[in-house]
Structure 1
Amino acid sequence: MKQTHSSLEKIKQFFIVLLPIFITQISLISTGFFDTVMAGHVSEQDLAGVAVGANLFMPVFGSILGVISGLTPIISQLYGARKKEEIPFVIIQGLYLSVIIGIVLILLAAAFIQPVFELLNLEPRVDYIAKMYLTAMAFGVCPIFAAGVFRNFMDAFGYTRFTMLITICAVPCNIFMNYLFMFGKFGFPELGGIGAGVGTSITFYVVLGLNVLVVRRLSPFKEYHIFSRFCKPSLNQWKRQLCIGLPIGSAMFCEQSIFGAVGIFMTVYGTGVIAAHQAALNFTTMVYMIPLSISMTLTILVGFEIGAKRLKDAKKYSYMGVGLSMLVASTLAIVLIQFKGAIAMLYTNDEVVNQLVQSFIVYAIFLQVSDGVSAPIQGTLRGYKDVKITFFLAVLSYWVIGLPAGYILANYFSYGPYGYWMGLIIGIAVGAVLLGFRLRLVQRKLAG
């Protein structure tokens, strides 16, 4: 990254950072996309089992990656302030912390998975597939969390194309592994939906290996000699990283866990609704990668400008990102609603489930319009290291407004499972408005 002096230069640098991030995010989320699509072509029970497992796994998984992503504004501000000698120590401590978090997650999952599934009261086959899917995924959490540290290292420098290339390589690997283990090809066991967890877990190790290779062999990362010296664990550094990362991860948990909670509520409507809801959610998650990528780009660029004390440039980037996200979200909503039938066909050939998927997709598209405003503002605030209020606003919009509104609409009105989606749309829209007010306050305060 470099200092920019005109709007044209800012637009150019914005897209240089954004496009690789977007391709990276699409590649990352496509693992879940292919897990779901391929499970849907095994059986309805396999799709539902993977759906339940994913609804339990992804909120926790995403929130921990959010905690690790707290490294991005830390490193980008150090980079902008030209304090490069401090960066290797920050990276090593991030690696220690990521592995510890992964181990704690595995231990907690082992302790609580059975009680959680007893509450769900799923069909025996769906229950078994979901449990074994989660068991397989557990073997890959430590390597993917460690890979997340290296990814933040690269992204904070603006070299987002490296993480893009790594994740592009990971996608065909994941598809191939799924193919082997889900359908039992070339002598491998036929595991159905469980094979999706096995294939994805193996892919996580591949991603870690590629990240290590880049950091050790390619410039400018190899000049930092990350692995050349031993650093003792530093509780103070962990605390500093967690002070930034925990609010980010907690806000992400509020957002992602709300979808997990809704997925659990969907279990009372039967296997068909579970499968259709998961298919629509899976698709809308793919679309969400656009505002999320813009959000991540803003964190990097705003953090870089704030570190260099260029407040006006940071403000210009924030306006640019929010405007672009709103334009793209609105345009996609118009286009995608015309193709909901074709989208549903990707997930299932069952006529009943297909119609349910189409209905859910309509709500999912409107959900993305709200996200198109909310996500880039969150990313901008993270670049300013303003993360605590963002977390509290996430709790308010998702859990105090969104989920209760959805529950009321679903159970006390005639909307049924669609009521939960309506509640989410309301909650995210309210959150976007409140985040906008917070951003204006932060910018005015810094301007003096």
Structure 2
Amino acid sequence: MYHADTWKDKTKLLLKILWPILITQVGLNAMNLADTMMSGRVSSEDLVGVGIGSSIWMPIITGLNGILLAVTPIVSQLIGAGKRGEVAKSVSQALYVSVIIALIVAAVGLAAFRPILDAMQLESKVQHIAYNYLLALLIGIVPLFASNVLRYFFDAQGFTRISMFITLIAVPFNVLLNFGFIFGKMGFPALGGVGAGYATAITYWLMFAVSAAVAFRHAALRQYRLFREWALPSWKAWKELLAVGIPIGLGIFFEVGIFSIVTIFVGNLFDTEMTAAHQIALNFSSLVFMIPLSISMALTIVIGFSVGGEKWKHARQYTLLGVCGGVGLMGFIAILLYFFREPIASLYTEETDVAVLAAQFLVFAIFYQLSDAAQASLLGVLRGYKDVRQPFIIAFVSYWIIGVPSGYLLAARTNLEAFGFWVGIIIGLTCAAVGFLIRLLAVQRRIRSGNTAVLPTADKQPV
């Protein structure tokens, strides 16, 4: 990492950090994509079962992993401020927290998965697949959380290509295991959609093993002596991490939770065909979302580094580059998605009625791409400033007070039916984008007035 002075150099640095993150995020999402697509080749019940399981799993896992995302701005600001000696301690404490969170999630999941699925009143086969898919995923939850801490540690230093290479190893490994466990190939039992859970859990262990090996062997990372010298657990350090991480995690949970609750509503209100079509469109849209999400993560790194070095003008310039570039790129992708929506839908299923419905859902997905790009990139900027509390409130109000209720009313009270939920998502994302922009302008105004203590957490909790 370095402080780039010109617009050209800033663009090069941002792209250098961005493209490996994008490949990593697409790869990670591709595992879920492969689970859904390959399960759909068994039956619609397997597709819906895995889709329902993913809808329960993803908001919990991404939200709680979002807590650990605090490692990125913390480490990037430490490095930007020249405090490399404090990095290892922060990462060690984050690893402790990751294991504790993972064990809590596993315990709660074992107790709660069955009642949640019972309340959804699913078809018996769909419920069986969803429940056992979730149980299989729990096998890999500890290495999943720990490997994410290491990933954020790598990324915060600009070593985003490390995470990319780990993902490029993991994705084909996951697809190969899916082939075995789902269809009963290579001597594995044919478990259908449930097999996708076991394949993904095993892949999580592989990712952690490779990440730990890199931390040991990479020349620039050995200096931190991770896994060689452990800092004692520190409640004070955990509080500092959680003060930044919990608002980030809850904000992610509220966003991802929109899609999950909508899937649950669609499953309760409409038939299996409609639910399968919705899940196809949602699954592909989630893959497309990896682009603005990657831009968001790259912006957190470069802006955190600039803020750590008190390069306030640099931070504003990166904001313009990232937000404007992200919205423009997603506008272009939205046009492509419109023209290729039918071939995309047919990749997921051989059932014509489901594919036709899925293509219709993808039309609605096109319209929220711009709002999604704007809100994701603006949120990444705010995280770079470690401004996380107000964005958390904005996210909650936009997604759950405005987006979900409006979507439900449109689905239940108008001819839009299930498509009404997607209109509600568009409304929620647009409100979030506007709210994040207002908050960012307020933060930058305070800095220009000479108040560089951007956050209460930055005031009271040095990192």
Structure 1 length-normalised TM? 0.99
Report the counterpart of residue 313 of structure 1 in structure 2: 314
Cα deviation, 1:80-116, whole Å, max 9, x if unaligned, reads 0110111111111111100000000011111112211
Tell me the CA shift for residue 219 of structure 1.
2.0
Q: Does 1:246 align with 2:246?
A: yes
CA distance in 2, matches of 1:40, 1:196: 11
Residue type matched to 1:372 in 2? A
Residue type matched to 1:312 in 2? K
CA distance in 2, matches of 1:110, 1:201: 16
Residue type matched to 1:89 in 2? K
Q: Does 1:298 align with 2:326?
A: no
Report the counterpart of residue 381 of structure 2 in structure 1: 380
Q: Which moved more, 1:341-350 or 1:363-372?
A: 363-372
Tell me the CA shift for residue 412 of structure 1.
1.1
CA distance in 2, matches of 1:179, 1:101: 31
Tell me the CA shift for residue 425 of structure 1.
0.2
CA distance in 1, matches of 2:178, 2:68: 27
CA distance in 1, matches of 2:308, 2:24: 25
Q: Does 1:114 align with 2:111?
A: no
Q: Does 1:326 align with 2:331?
A: no
Cα deviation, 1:360-396, whole Å, max 9, x if unaligned, reads 1111121222101110000000000000111101111
2:67 counterpart SS class: helix
Residue type matched to 2:246 in 1? L
Residue type matched to 1:340 in 2? R
Tell me the CA shift for residue 229 of structure 1.
1.7
Give yes or no for contact 1:51–1:274 (8 Å, CA) kept in 2.
no
Q: Does 1:359 align with 2:360?
A: yes
Cα deviation, 1:403-439, whole Å, max 9, x if unaligned, reads 0100110111111000000001011111101111111
Cα deviation, 1:255-308, whole Å, max 9, x if unaligned, reads 011111000001120111111111100100111011100000000000000000
CA distance in 1, matches of 2:195, 2:332: 37
CA distance in 1, matches of 2:209, 2:139: 15
Q: Let me know the Cα RMSD of the aligned residues.
A: 0.7
Report the counterpart of residue 76 of structure 2 in structure 1: 76
CA distance in 1, matches of 2:425, 2:118: 26
Q: Which runs of 5+ in 2 are unaligned?
A: 450-463
Structure 1 ranges of 4+ moved more than 2 A:
none
Identity among equivalent positions (%) equals 42
Cα deviation, 1:142-192, whole Å, max 9, x if unaligned, reads 101000010011000011000000001100000001011001112111000
Residue type matched to 1:290 in 2? I
Report the counterpart of residue 259 of structure 2 in structure 1: 259
Q: Which moved more, 1:224-233 or 1:397-406?
A: 224-233
Task: Give the alignment of 1:13-412 within 5 angstroms.
Answer: 13-267=13-267, 268-412=269-413
Structure 2 length-normalised TM? 0.96
CA distance in 1, matches of 2:56, 2:331: 30
Give yes or no for contact 1:80–1:305 (8 Å, CA) kept in 2.
yes
Q: Which runs of 5+ in 1 are unaligned?
A: none
Residue type matched to 1:309 in 2? E
2:186 counterpart SS class: helix
Give yes or no for contact 1:120–1:264 (8 Å, CA) kept in 2.
yes
Report the counterpart of residue 8 of structure 1 in structure 2: 8
CA distance in 2, matches of 1:319, 1:197: 40
Give yes or no for contact 1:93–1:234 (8 Å, CA) kept in 2.
yes
Tell me the CA shift for residue 230 of structure 1.
2.8
Give yes or no for contact 1:46–1:129 (8 Å, CA) kept in 2.
yes
Tell me the CA shift for residue 336 of structure 1.
1.1
